[in-house]
Amino acid sequence: MIENLPNWINISFFLVTLITIGIFYISNGRPKKLLLLILLWSAIQSIIAFTGFYQITDTTPPRFALVLLPSALSILFGMSSKNLKWMFATRKIEVSTFLHCIRIPVEFILLYLFLNKTIPKTMTFEGLNFDIIAGITAPLVGLLYIKGKLGKKGLLIWNVLGLILIFTILTIGILSSELPFQQFGFEQPNRAIDYFPFILLPATVVPMVIYTHLTDIIKLRKEIEPNFRKWM
């Protein structure tokens, strides 16, 4: 864990991660095998980070690739025809939309990490991170959709914008890390994600948010396909 970091920040982020996993589990029809895989993956990454493995940043290839590559591959695997068919049958969009509410506490935790000099300002909403907008609007959008005051097209647009926001901060976070291609945060690099529990942000939380956006977009587009080309 990061030295001299208040325990409540570590505990808060760990709880946010568990809540994210819980909502993801419910929104996808409570798949027990998938839940076990997510928990196992999170536990493995937590143990690796706890040993200090990711704190060594001058290796080739970068050790952090053991987080990014499996996460990217898991998303791609989840986008296969078989898994998409399963997702279409089980996904509860009225629940998955509320998953994005967790982006509010995540953004405040990132702010405190910046104040504790473990990430750059660019990764906070005081810098170039506007992902909190998706978190703030998620409950409103979810309620409007449930009440029938927001249609599938509107929800589709919101998901596309939310996906752009999460990809933006993901890119900033990677380019702010102490990697060979670092572009931001040289005076105060993104070091927090090298430690437990914050390794779970790129390893677990962000992949679930991205996958939820992508699959909700595909599901919504499929459901409005008869009118989609006219709308475009």
Between CA 222 and CA 142 the distance in angstroms is 19
Between CA 183 and CA 72 the distance in angstroms is 21
CB 139 within 8 A of CB 147: no
pLDDT tens-digit readout, 41-72: 999 999 999 999 999 988 888 999 999 999 99
Q: What is the DSSP letter of 124?
A: S
pLDDT tens-digit readout, 180-227: 878 887 889 999 999 999 999 999 999 999 999 999 999 999 888 765
pTM score above 0.85: yes
Which two structure tokens, joined as six digits, stand for 38? 């997510």
Going from N- to C-terminal start, the domains of the chain cover 1-27+92-223
Please report the sign of the dihedral spanned by the C-alpha atoms of residue 35, residue 41, residue 46, residue 47: positive
Between CA 101 and CA 20 the distance in angstroms is 9
CB 28 within 8 A of CB 78: no
From residue 222, how far is each of 46, 153, 196, 219 by CA, in Å?
Answer: 37, 11, 39, 5
